[in-house]
């Protein structure tokens, strides 16, 4: 359980971190909270020769209010997200998800940017950020660009990040009045990673769903938006009959993971159950 030797650099700015990535190429890895990278290094599944620590870069810290949007720095920890009153008052699915991650140690040190870059298929943030219609800001040698959460998670542990790009922030539009949101997950009892996690955000007006956003994690190789459920709810009342119909569409047409934790059939079943729980939660909140 001891990692191979590596050189350690502590970057003081985003540009310095990018310069270090360019200088050391494929041998270098960014170190944020280290709660995904270091376990992989201890198991020798990952053996970078150089670690670039971004934990002390001020520009990657903090949660703030922008023009109609919430801005979360890449180095913000799960604990900071779980305890932010700015977030709990407007985007309760973020608070719920943050509270459900790992244990106190993981939440105190693990970061949202690290989780997104790692793109574990069972991680919570990918589904939550897709449902929240988030945008991920990144910076590389060609400057800044923004990627929607829908386009960010491309495959198993794979993202749209290019070489030498760093996630700098996550931006989430504040939802309109009448919006409720929730994150419901069936967790692996030891790690608390999602065997299935369903994130939902619904805006209701005149008794019907005017805007619906639903996404899953844990179900397939990468988190995904569930357009089947969204289509089934749009323009409809959130009553038990419509919720049951929409839940039956969960993960339809997706390739569903099967492993020693849960078979394909069981995960498919959980997706329908947790979709229903998520819809019931926004109906009553
Ligand atoms: P690191 O481990 O430092 O980095 C992870 C990867 O991302 C590395 O490849 C690194 O180079 C890259 N990276 C980091 N930051 C950036 C950046 N800004 N830009 C570009 N690349 C970057 N997660 C869940 O979602 N739900 C859980 O229930 C859960 N339970 C856990 C339980 C345990 C016991 C442990 C150890 C982890 C658990 N996790 C869970 C994962 C945890 O949330 C990690 O904190 C997270 O996945 C990675 O964040 P980090 O800051 O630790 O990143």
At the topology level of CATH, where does 179-284 sit? Enolase-like; domain 1 (3.30.390)
Do residues 111 and 77 touch, judged by C-beta distance below 8 A? yes
Is pTM beyond 0.85? Reply is yes
Q: Is the CB of 166 under 6 A from ligand 1?
A: yes
Percent of the chain's residues with pLDDT above 90: 97
Strand ranges, E, within 32-163: 50-53, 63-65, 69-73, 135-140, 143-148, 153-155, 158-159
The residues of the chain that CATH labels 3.30.390.50 are 179-284
Residue nearest to atom 13 of ligand 1 (CA): 114
Q: Is the CB of 40 under 6 A from ligand 1?
A: no
Nearest atom of ligand 1 to the alpha carbon of 103: 32
Q: Is the CB of 193 under 6 A from ligand 1?
A: yes
Q: Is the CB of 31 under 6 A from ligand 1?
A: yes
Three-class DSSP category at 19: helix
pLDDT in tens, 216-238: 999 999 999 999 999 999 999 99
DSSP state of 32: S
At the topology level of CATH, where does 58-173 sit? 3.30.465
Q: Is the CB of 183 under 6 A from ligand 1?
A: no
Please report, for residues 119, 153, 232, 235, 281, the alpha-carbon distance to residue 249 in angstroms, rounded to integers and kept in the order given: 25, 22, 8, 16, 18
- The Å distance, Cα 265 to ligand 1 centre, comes to 28
Pocket test for ligand 1, best of 106, 109, 122 (most atoms within 8 A of CB): 106
56 half-sphere exposure, CB direction, 13 A CA radius: 7
Q: Is the CB of 34 under 6 A from ligand 1?
A: yes
Residue nearest to atom 11 of ligand 1 (CA): 30
Helix (H) / strand (E) element for 181: namely: strand 179-187
pLDDT in tens, 83-121: 999 999 889 999 999 999 999 999 999 999 999 999 999
Residues β-bridged to residue 170:
72, 136
φ, ψ for residue 18 (rounded to 5)?
A: -65, -45
Strands 28-31 and 50-53: parallel
Residue nearest to atom 39 of ligand 1 (CA): 102
Residue nearest to atom 16 of ligand 1 (CA): 114
Burial class of 143 by CB neighbour count within 10 A (0 to 12, 13 to 18, 19+): exposed
pLDDT in tens, 115-142: 999 999 999 999 999 999 999 999 999 9
Q: Tell how far CA 194 is from the center of its chain.
A: 11
Residue 2 tokens, joined: 């001891």
pLDDT in tens, 23-68: 999 999 999 999 999 999 999 999 999 999 999 999 999 999 999 9
pLDDT in tens, 253-281: 999 999 999 999 999 999 999 999 999 99
The residues of the chain that CATH labels 3.30.43.10 are 7-53
Domain 7-53: give its CATH code: 3.30.43.10
Average pLDDT for the chain: 96
End-to-end CA distance of the chain: 45
Residue nearest to atom 5 of ligand 1 (CA): 114
Q: Distance between CA atoms of 56 and 52, rounded to whole angstroms?
A: 11
Residue nearest to atom 30 of ligand 1 (CA): 102
DSSP state of 5: P
Residue 126 tokens, joined: 């990918």
DSSP string, 191-247: T--EEEEEEEEEEEETTEEEEEEEEEESSSSS-EE-HHHHHHHBTS---HHHHHHHH
Residue nearest to atom 4 of ligand 1 (CA): 114
**Length reported for the chain:** 285
- The Å distance, Cα 65 to ligand 1 centre, comes to 25
Pocket test for ligand 1, best of 8, 15, 50, 110 (most atoms within 8 A of CB): 110
Give the pLDDT of residue 285: 54
The residues of the chain that CATH labels 3.30.465.10 are 58-173
Q: Which of 145, 211, 159 is nearest to 180 (CA)?
A: 211
pLDDT in tens, 183-199: 999 999 999 999 999 99
């Amino acid at each position: 359980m001891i990692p191979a030797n590596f050189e350690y650099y502590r970057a003081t700015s985003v540009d310095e971190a990018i310069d270090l990535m360019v200088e050391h190429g494929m041998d270098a890895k960014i170190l944020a909270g280290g709660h995904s990278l270091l376990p992989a290094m201890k198991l020798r599944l990952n053996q970078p020769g150089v670690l670039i620590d971004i934990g002390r870069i001020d520009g990657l810290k903090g949660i703030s209010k922008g023009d109609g949007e919430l801005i979360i720095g890449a180095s913000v920890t799960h604990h900071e997200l779980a305890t932010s009153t700015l977030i709990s008052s407007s985007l309760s699915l973020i608070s719920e998800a943050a509270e459900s991650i790992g244990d106190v140690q993981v939440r105190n040190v693990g970061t949202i940017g690290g989780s997104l870059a790692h793109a574990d298929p069972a991680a919570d943030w990918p589904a939550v950020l897709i449902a929240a219609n988030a945008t991920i800001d990144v910076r590389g040698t060609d400057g800044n660009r923004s990627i929607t959460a829908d386009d960010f998670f491309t495959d198993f542990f794979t993202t749209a990040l290019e070489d030498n790009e760093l996630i700098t922030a996550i931006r989430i539009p504040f939802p309109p009045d009448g919006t409720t949101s929730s994150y419901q997950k069936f967790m692996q009892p030891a790690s608390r990673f999602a065997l299935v996690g369903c994130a939902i955000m619904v805006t209701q007006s005149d008794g019907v769903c005017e805007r619906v956003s639903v996404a899953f994690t844990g179900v397939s190789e990468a988190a995904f938006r569930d357009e089947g459920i969204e289509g089934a709810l749009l323009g409809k009342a959130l009553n038990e009959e419509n919720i049951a119909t929409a839940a039956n569409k969960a993960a339809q047409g997706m390739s569903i993971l099967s492993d020693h934790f849960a078979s394909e059939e069981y995960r498919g079943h959980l997706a329908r159950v947790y979709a229903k729980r998520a819809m019931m939660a926004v109906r009553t909140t």
